[in-house]
Amino acid sequence: MIPVKVNSPEEIVRQRPKNLPMPRPADVVVPLGPREIKNLSVAFETKVGLGPSSTESIFRSWAENLNTVYRSSPVQAVEEHFDGTIEEVTEEGLRLSTVSSGGEEAEAWLPWTAFDEDPGEKKFVQVGAPIRITIFSDRTLVRVLRPAQWKIATEASDAVTDMLLNRMKQVLDQG
Amino acid sequence: VEDYRQAAVVLTGDFNPAIFHPDWFQQHEILPEIEVTSAQSATDVMISHQVTIIRFLSLRLEVLGQRWTLSSERSDWFKDLGPITMSIFQKLPHTPVKTLSINFSEHRLVQKTPPEVMRHWLSDSKFGDAIGEKSKVGLVGRANWDGFETTVVCEHSLHLKGAMFLSQSYEKKLKTTRDIEATRWGDVLVRSNDLATELLGISR
């Protein structure tokens, strides 16, 4: 059996050919994620250290060796999650249209107490905002996308507004 | 290791890793408070001029001088990685960016066994015979789809017995950060799910 040699960060840097082109994202699909996601043996993993610069290679290898720094995020067990859109905001709560992680569409009612785990999210509640509800075994987390994460650009928004106004005028004219 | 999925948005360009600090995310209200406070109280956050690694509650950010990656292993966040990236670079509009890649990786147990799946797509593998006994041959394909250059890897999982490994990358060139906004994130996610279903013969 041929022994597998794992290069040290210094060796990787020394062996790196000059003017090596920077890897394209597609060449190193999810290269920087936790170790488990790669479908490579240990010997191949060292090639990930061939980053865009010597300094970065050293930092990458260093970070990889520090379990405390490089470990993956703890994945909490999600029982179910819902993607929703806020349809109405009242004093008691929110009316939503939702799609479950299983693809089931529904109308739902969400009381304000659902925000107790992260009350800061209430600030972003507005009609039309996408909302995410994640159910764990011990708690429910609600988050709302920020306007910059879902509102269309101003020019596009103006075009949509103009189109809707024209449509309304046509309907009124017909009436 | 159980069924495992990860999604990531990877940008190449020129970045200043030191900008990306949990406090910066808090100041700009880009992520929920619970995500930011989790990172602020973590002991394994690394922020420097060369590299930044921040582990939020549900997301992971890694920034090198020429590569920026936001990833999550939580499927309830997959849909939002793109919009979050967009909102981050709206705050940093002059960042020189070159490429954007939306990546999905998974080690997944499917109804068919890995040899069955691979036989379906690769009926006659002389390559496997050539390289040795008990060979396992995988597939790598590159194609164009809806303005993206895609790379798909489909093979036996080396980490999860009896599972398939599937990796999908959707890459496009960028001229400015405004091009990030024009990305149809939802379409890519739907496409990746459809392709996984077709390639692995699974239903989600």
Contact assessment for residue B119 and residue B201, using Cβ atoms and an 8 Å cutoff: no
Cross-chain Cβ contact A56/B50 below 8 Å? yes
B74 and A120 within 8 Å at the Cβ level: the answer is no
Distances A110 to A62, A117, A122, A161, B74 between C-alpha atoms, Å: 46, 14, 12, 29, 22
Contact A52/B64, CB-based, under 8 Å?
A: yes
Q: What is the mean pLDDT of residues B168-185?
A: 94
> pLDDT tens-digit profile of A120-140?
999 999 999 999 999 998 889
Q: Do A71 and B44 touch (CB under 8 A)?
A: yes
SS3 for chain A is: CCCCCCCCHHHHHHHCCCCCCCCCHHHHCCCCCCHHHCCCCHHHHHHHHCCCCHHHHHHHHHHHHCHHHHCCCCCCCEEEEEEEEEEEECCCEEEEEEEECCCCEEEEEEEHHHHCCCHHHHHHCCCCCEEEEEEECCCEEEEECCHHHHCCCHHHHHHHHHHHHHHHHHHHHHC
Which chain B residues are Cβ-neighbours of A53 within 8 angstroms? 65-66
- Least CB–CB distance from B87: residue in A22, A37, A148: A148
CA distance A66 to A62: 7
Closest-CA residue of chain B to A117: B34
pLDDT of residue A56: 46
Rounded-to-integer distance, Cα A132 and Cα B78, Å: 11
Residue B15: what pLDDT?
96
The percentage of chain A sitting over the pLDDT mark of 70, rounded to a whole number, equals 49
ipTM of the complex in this document: 0.88
- For chain B, what is the mean pLDDT? 91
Nearest-Cα distance to chain B for A3, in Å, is 18
Confidence of residue B32 (pLDDT cuts 50, 70, 90): very high
* pLDDT value of residue A102: 87
**Closest CB from A22, A30, A41 relative to B12:** A22
**Nearest to B87, CA basis, from B156, B41, B31:** B31
In percent, how much of chain B has pLDDT > 70? 98
Contact (CB<8Å) A76/B74: yes
Chain segment B55-66, per-residue pLDDT in tens? 999 999 999 999
Q: Number of residue pairs across A and B with CB atoms under 8 Å?
A: 163
- Residues of A with Cβ-Cβ distance to B58 under 8 angstroms: 73
Residue numbers in B near A121 (CB within 8 A) = 32-33
- Give the nearest partner residue to B69 out of A32, A39, A134, using CB atoms: A32
**For the residues of chain B, what is the DSSP string, one character each?**
--SEEEEEEEEEE---GGG--HHHHHHTT-S-HHHHHHHHH-S--EE-SSEEEEE-SS-EEEEESSEEEEEES-HHHHHHHHHHHHHHHHSSTT--EEEEEEEEEEEEE-SS-HHHHHHHH-S--HHHHHH-TT----EEEEEEETTEEEEEEEEE-SSSTTEEEEEEEEEEE-SSTHHHHT--HHHHHHHHHHHHHHHHT---
Subunit contact A37:B87, Cβ cutoff 8 A: no
Measure B157 CA to nearest chain A CA, in Å: 6
**CA nearest A142: which of A132, A152, A151, A150?**
A132
How many other C-beta atoms can be found within 10 angstroms of the C-beta atom of residue B139?
13
Q: What is the pLDDT of residues B72-103, one digit of tens each?
A: 989 999 999 999 999 999 999 999 999 999 99
Model confidence over A12-63: pLDDT tens digits?
444 444 444 444 444 333 333 333 356 654 443 333 333 334 444 444 554 4
Q: Does A154 touch chain B (CB under 8 A)?
A: no
